[in-house]
Amino acid sequence: MNKKVMALAVAGVLAAPAAALAQVQIGGSLTMFYYQHKPENPSTGQSGDILEMSEPELYVRGSEKLGGGLEAWFQCTSSLDGMTGGTASAAGWCGRNSGLGFRGGFGNFFGGNWDQPQKLVFNAGRGWWGGTNALTGGSAVLLNGGSASGAANPVTTTAGFFSATSVPGVTTTTSNNPGTFFRRQAQSLNYHSPNWGGFSLQAGYSANNESTGIPEASPLTPRMYSVAGQFRTGPFYVGVGYEQHADYNPGNQAAYAGGDDNNITAVVGLQFGGFNIRGLYSRSEYEPTSTTSMDVDGFALFGDFRFAGAHTIRAQWAQVNDTGGSSTVAVGSYKGSAAATCKTPGAPGSAASCASDTGAMLYGVAYSYAFSKRTEGSVVYSVIDNDDKATFSKGKTAATAGSKQTTAGLVLKHSF
């Protein structure tokens, strides 16, 4: 068993009907990394060995049968990042997937802080590999602009009128990572359908809590919408996710007047013998200003080969292509078409077009050994290789244009 189960009688003790029994589960997982990190950027950080936790969690889940096939449920999943010392995660209690809702024959409707449908499709593609961590991650850094965990809609503040006829200028905080499509969205309402012969539908949108702090005169109403369809049958998997951000200000522009950003992610998977192969495509489109746009797309392949019972070889490869569109400003690590900080041969730091050589490649390989159903150890090697003008990083130190960042080390995971 990979979890403890505690049955608690409620509503009437001995006289309570069977439908009033509530089930509470406690469990979680711990993943520890120890690895060598080589950033190739001595001005911001040196090479060294790093010990840290990766997405450790403790969950408490509960449900109560209400009769007629209806069930109330809750989940509180909390981070345990402080286990190795140092700075603990600021997420605190229920900072990971957490919610409260109803489920039944109609599906599952709930509110809370939850991975959005587009991210669920991406997760089906990456599988064991991380999305953004420095050792096993990176695919979401390249293809989805990084991650936003437990994030609300961007918060905006009035910056004043720029002219007598213009709309109010606003500034968006960067803490909510407005350019990323790999989101665990806070204050979201979600629906997950039943399984209809292998097909399922997921949908979510964010409540507009931030509107209470946005002036009525502002043109902005930040909100997120996400939807996905997934089909599983036998060895096959197909998933498509779409997400839209309204008024997120992805380029963090002071005179931002609104716009829509969107992403589509598609995954196809196949299992045969001991192999599990997934292919992923992602395309994002941004409107950093009212008159310019940016688009970026890329691909990824993930594969697992399990043999001799306890042994697994894993590999990942991802490629993000050059940015396109008319935007001259950057969105996160995606370069605008004329960013002044671009690197050009023979003239570092000069103002030049970034329309080419702004992509990057990720590749990694891992060997895993399952000591039991709950405990697994792995040896991992992973590299992000930037094109001449790209600066994608593994998140520990900033990258210089055209550099590589390499990690190699050990992973120990235990589920309980």
Closest CA to 312 of 270, 371, 374: 371
pLDDT at position 160: 42
Alpha-carbon torsion 110, 116, 118, 121, what sign?
Answer: negative
pLDDT at position 89: 56
Closest CA to 27 of 65, 77, 63: 77
Give per-residue pLDDT as tens, 326-350.
Answer: 999 999 999 988 543 444 444 444 3
20, amino acid identity? A
pLDDT at position 211: 85
Give per-residue pLDDT as tens, 175-227.
Answer: 688 999 999 999 999 999 999 999 999 999 999 998 887 888 888 999 999 99
Give per-residue pLDDT as tens, 214-260.
Answer: 888 888 999 999 999 999 999 999 999 999 999 999 998 888 889 99
Helix (H), strand (E) at residue 123: helix 117-126
Residues of the chain predicted below pLDDT 50: 1-20, 159-168, 174, 339-354
Residue for token pair 């498509």:
240
pLDDT at position 280: 98
226, amino acid identity? S
pLDDT at position 22: 73
pLDDT at position 341: 45
CA distances from 226 to 131, 263, 290, 292 (A): 18, 9, 23, 24
CA distance 180 to 199: 27
24, amino acid identity? V
358 neighbors 387 (Cβ within 8 angstroms) = yes
Q: Name 356's Cβ contacts closer than 8 Å, sequence gap at least 6.
A: 322, 389
Query: At residue 229, what are phi and psi to the nearest 5 degrees?
Result: -125, 135
Q: Which domains does the chain have, with CATH numbers?
A: 29-55+93-415 (2.40.160.10)
CA distance 167 to 215: 12
pLDDT at position 81: 85
CA atoms within 13 A on the CB side of 260: 7
pLDDT at position 348: 44
- The model carries a pTM of 0.88
